[in-house]
Chain A
Amino acid sequence: MSRYTSATDADRREMLDAIGVGSVEELFRDIPEPVRQREPIAMPDGMAEQDVYDHLRALASRNRDAEQEVTFAGGGMYDHYVPALIDSILQRSEFLTPYTPYQPEISQGGLQVMFEFQTAISELTGLPVANASMYEGPSSVASAGYMARLDNGRSKFVVSRGVHPNSRETLATYAHAFGSEVVEVPLDGRGATHLGALAAAVDDDTSAVILQQPNFLGTVEDLGPLAEAAKRTGAVLVCAVDPLTLGILRPPGEFGVDVAVGEGQSLGNRLDFGGPSFGFYAATEKFLRRMPGRIAGETVDVDGKRGFVLTLQTREQHIRREKATHNICTAQALNALAGVIYLSWLGKRGVVELGELMLRRTAYAREALGAELVNPGPVVREFAIRLPNLDEVCERARAEGINPGHRLRYYYPEYEDCLLVAITERRTRKDIDRLAEIVQGAREEVHA
């Protein structure tokens, strides 16, 4: 079906005449016969717009989304409220439909957004420089590893088992390509990175040490001693951080972290079954000229008027080709825009208030569920509990329209009967009490 094109038969004739060929087929004469597609594409013909809508709506209705259930699922992406102004601004065609700002004179909007985004990420992380976005969380972690490798040429990554399993696996995937080894540091009995094991794993060949704050179980890591142990031999210290906890948690930059990366979904982005969201990348000034991705910088035009440009492009693939510091090109500009609007909407006070609300509701939930805590130390919005009858609890919760959280067993066989529970600002005391009732009810039956 001819869709979104507008050449009429008359247009076609005129255009072919101007080109000097007799038919559209002739335009493809360079394509050798043996590699021509002889049969039509094996796919149904095009559909009317309303039929496509109905088909997609039917598919969407076969998912159980966070509108239909009370969800305690976390594990890297969270059901936070996305304010309406984000939807409205992101649908403006001037943000939605341009390419990367290669022509700064007609891209000042996008470039200033990048500059504002970089500022917000720098503020949250307590690090002086940040780029304009990465794809998402786990690949940002792997990219930080790659930068460390370029920087010091050492061949070992020491990574905490508290780092998101997807990040660890992505790091291992990337590391295999450039010949680095990944060594994992276990968690201790309280679900925090094992300090002694970390200290023992770091040696002169350690390129980077990679931690996550809070870690995958929700534990707020004691970054001070960990950072000291990590940096003893001059390795690059990378910390994956949850940006929405940084209103209340001491920022990584204050612990001597060299590179802070992370998943930005919690900042005004939809769940979208895992993407698109954005990743971020902040670092000490030393790494400004080694960082991956776009960076916007402030400058002036020929009339002395303030403006913004893509800067330090000699790091990038389109200029430096095989000598680039990374291969990234298209990243997540629109999602990063959602992030900076969200942070402006929360504001300097709101980011603290929201953090405190999550902290208190999470404390309440830990108490109310009354289950054994896998990680009894400090947490912000997520924690793990041990439930001897885990599957039964999950089944009952599902029957009542509750997603109780993520079962840890796939990525952490050592936590076979454990549940990871996330408490965003959308989970009220009433929601928590409902989950608690199910957990308690199931426990009483076990004891009976």
Chain B
Amino acid sequence: MRSEAGGRRPENTLTIYEKSREGRRAFVSPELDVPEIPISDLLPSDLLRSEPPELPEISEPEIVRHYNGLSKKNFDLDTGFYPLGSCTMKHNPKLNERVAALPGFSRLHPLQEPQYAQGALELMWRLQRQLSEVAGLPHVSLQPSAGSHGELAGLLLTRAYHEDNGEQRTKVLTPDTAHGTNPATVTMSGYEVVKVGTAEDGGVDLDDLRDKAGDDTACLMLTNPNTLGLFDRNIEEIARIVHDAGATLYYDGANLNAVLGISRPGDMGFDIVHFNLHKTFTQPHGGGGPGAGPIAVSDRIEPYLPRPQVVRREGANGHSEPFFDLDFERPKSIGRLRGFQGNFGVFVRSYAYICSVGGDGLKDVSETAVLNANYLRARLAEPGIAEYLPIAFDRLCMHEFVLSGRGARDKLGIRTLDIAKRLLDHKVHPPTVYFPLLVDEALMIEPTETETKERLDGFADAIREILEEAKEDPEIAKNAPYTTPVRRLDEAAAARHPVVRQARPEAGGRRAEGGAPSATPSPSI
């Protein structure tokens, strides 16, 4: 028990380290059934740890309560509407968790030899075929761990392709509407970013693209529909310009949810596509992962795919049954991007999802996602809302759309951030804010196909209410939220004086109580 009331924090803000008490425990070690050789006989003293790490000492019931308590401070998709643009927060089917937990998958060792992992390899092969069909491109690697990892793979493939043709190209084009991962990946891949502008209609500025595409261009990275939620009507011309320049065309699949069964990236002329299995294919986001970012590619890119590849060998081993295998013999491969075979547990969930909805259901997914987005767009274009939150590009949208908060700022004195924070009091997750960058005070709204009309109406009503309220008193929104576990947080202080770990206990076993952020604590090293 703590002795000093002065330094005491309310129980519900304590970290698990602050709940630690010497001598408590949850773990009971399995019995020592081999000789109890002194540790000092097994490890030289200079390689032995002198003090145990300061992990918590806490009982199982208190661990459970601690994390259950923390969970209640999170808003989540299973609780309410989450129209976070570009993130595709759609329902995560419960069946997927059940099948991913089957021991045949969840307790399968990654180095299990292929003959003892036929079911897992077949599942991967089948998922590759499904993704290939959706993308309209013949070859798939499941290896990348997330969208940004898929992007890295795409640019490494691009580099390998050009190098194999004896070319050293140095520049990658990205539209100014691109996700931040695109330019970040370009730099990491050793290329230089060249930005391409956006035309009046929200698509790529073709003149600008023609000016900038040349024989030093390695690739154009494009999202279509783009981050404004608009399908680029000039996609064929874009592909022509890029291919005429000898560059590859890369498809950022973050928005693939809009075009399943409607239009395939391969048919649009893309050479390389990444999928976000945690967006379009229902892997739960987990508060920031895990995800998976498989890629699909055209024939000319195939030789460079990461290794190993999952392959189906017909009648191998003298059997008539097909044999599923890992193919490491890929001399032109870019190599590995990570360990083992990728985020297999994610593959299981996405495969189950695709089997559940089927080819017909996938098309329904996109049609309904686009219907929901356009309906919500129409609701938010009604008088009383549109003058404060005009749409950035007034066209039919695909699965998402972007509003500008400039009206609310100029007429009501509240910013997009204030609207977002006030939405928290309405038990709704706010849209993506301040992205894409070319829209002033942007609000990027993606309802997804799994929401009902009533939920969309509820969101439109909440927005209207916030704007009405701001006409009376803008301070309400500016000081929101009021009903959340904490209110607006001092992010500037957090960055100025970073406290990124729990302070270590002071001598005597008591933990330091520093209230406001102070200097970064240093461990005893």
Contacts and interface: CB of A to CB of B under 8 A. Distances in A.
Nearest to B373: A27
Nearest to A65: B107
Nearest to A169: B336
Contacts of B364: 1-3, 5
A109 B68 CA distance: 9
A345 B26 contact: yes
B358 A44 contact: yes
Contacts of A378: 42-44, 47
B233 A30 contact: yes
Interface string A3-28: 11111000110111011110010111
Interface in A339-377: 340-341, 343-354, 356-357, 359-361, 363-364
Nearest to B80: A106
B520 A285 contact: yes
A136 B286 contact: no
Given A62-B104, A95-B287, A15 B58 contact: no
B117 interface: yes
A332 B269 CA distance: 33
A129 B57 contact: no
B232 to A, nearest CB: 8
Contacts of B449: 4-5
B344 A275 contact: yes
Interface string A238-259: 0000000011111101100000
B285 A130 contact: no
A224 interface: yes
Nearest to B368: A5
Interface stretch (B108-116, B241-249, B462-470): B108-116
A273 B341 contact: yes
Given A109-B74, A118-B500, A301-B488, A4 B494 contact: no
Nearest to A134: B145
Contact of B146 (A37, A271, A330): A330
B360 A40 contact: yes
Q: Which of B50, B68, B181 has the most CB of A within 10 A?
A: B181
Contacts of B108: 63-66, 271-273
A190 to B, nearest CB: 13
A302 to B, nearest CB: 5
A129 B149 contact: no
B55 A344 contact: yes
Interface stretch (A199-207, A229-237, A321-329, A439-447): A321-329
Given A37-B262, A246-B53, A170 B335 contact: yes
Contact of A59 (B120, B336, B424): B120
Interface in B346-384: 346, 348, 351-352, 354-365, 367-368, 370-372, 374-375, 377-379
Interface string B467-508: 000000000000101001111111101110011111000000
A218 interface: no
A320 B435 CA distance: 13
Interface stretch (B188-196, B207-215, B404-412): B188-196
B333 to A, nearest CB: 9
Interface string B91-110: 11101011101111111111
Contacts of A139: 145, 149, 337-339
Interface stretch (B29-37, B295-303, B312-320): B29-37
A139 B293 CA distance: 14
A360 B25 CA distance: 22
B27 A178 contact: no
Contact of B287 (A107, A135, A176, A288): A107
A351 B56 CA distance: 11
A414 interface: no
Nearest to B172: A322
Contact of B344 (A61, A66, A138, A273): A273
B206 interface: no
Given A136-B338, A273-B344, A312-B498, A248 B39 contact: yes
B338 A349 contact: no
Interface string B173-209: 0000001110111111110010000000000000000
A329 B150 CA distance: 11
Contacts of A223: 47
Q: Which of A3, A7, A21, A353 has the most CB of B within 10 A?
A: A3
Contacts of A128: 501, 520-523, 525
Contact of A53 (B99, B183, B342): B99
Contacts of A314: 495
Contacts of B189: 177-178
B339 A361 contact: no
Contacts of A94: 71-72, 74-76, 78-79
B287 A348 contact: no
Nearest to B375: A15
B216 interface: no
A83 B343 CA distance: 21
A101 interface: yes
A351 B49 CA distance: 12
Contact of A29 (B90, B261, B396): B396
B173 to A, nearest CB: 12
B98 to A, nearest CB: 7
A177 B156 contact: yes
A172 interface: yes
Nearest to B498: A297
A299 interface: yes
A301 B487 contact: yes
A98 B284 CA distance: 8
A437 to B, nearest CB: 16
Contacts of A166: 336, 338-340
Given A24-B371, A273-B112, A311-B495, A334 B489 contact: no
Nearest to B119: A62
A24 to B, nearest CB: 5
Given A136-B338, A275-B345, A46 B263 contact: no
A93 B77 contact: yes
Interface string A169-192: 110111011110000000000000
A126 interface: yes
A281 interface: no
Given A60-B104, A301-B487, A109 B47 contact: no
Contacts of A68: 103
A35 B267 contact: yes
A83 B424 CA distance: 35
Contacts of A306: 9, 13, 486, 515
Contact of B188 (A326, A340, A347): A326
A110 B43 contact: no
Interface in A387-445: 403, 406, 410, 425, 428-430
Contacts of A63: 104-105, 108, 112, 116-120
Nearest to B235: A35
B424 A103 contact: yes
B421 interface: yes
B453 A14 contact: yes
A356 B39 CA distance: 7
B515 to A, nearest CB: 8
Contact of A104 (B76, B236, B486): B486
B361 A2 contact: yes
Contact of A224 (B46, B356, B500): B46
A50 to B, nearest CB: 9
B130 to A, nearest CB: 6
A104 B495 CA distance: 14
A347 B145 CA distance: 30
Contact of A351 (B53, B495, B525): B53
Nearest to A129: B500
Interface in B256-305: 259-264, 267-269, 276, 278, 284-292
16 contacts: A42-B133, A52-B95, A77-B340, A95-B286, A96-B286, A113-B67, A173-B334, A222-B47, A247-B49, A271-B110, A272-B108, A274-B340, A299-B489, A307-B489, A320-B180, A329-B180
Given A40-B359, A107-B74, A327-B185, 4 more contacts: A19-B374, A34-B236, A94-B71, A177-B155
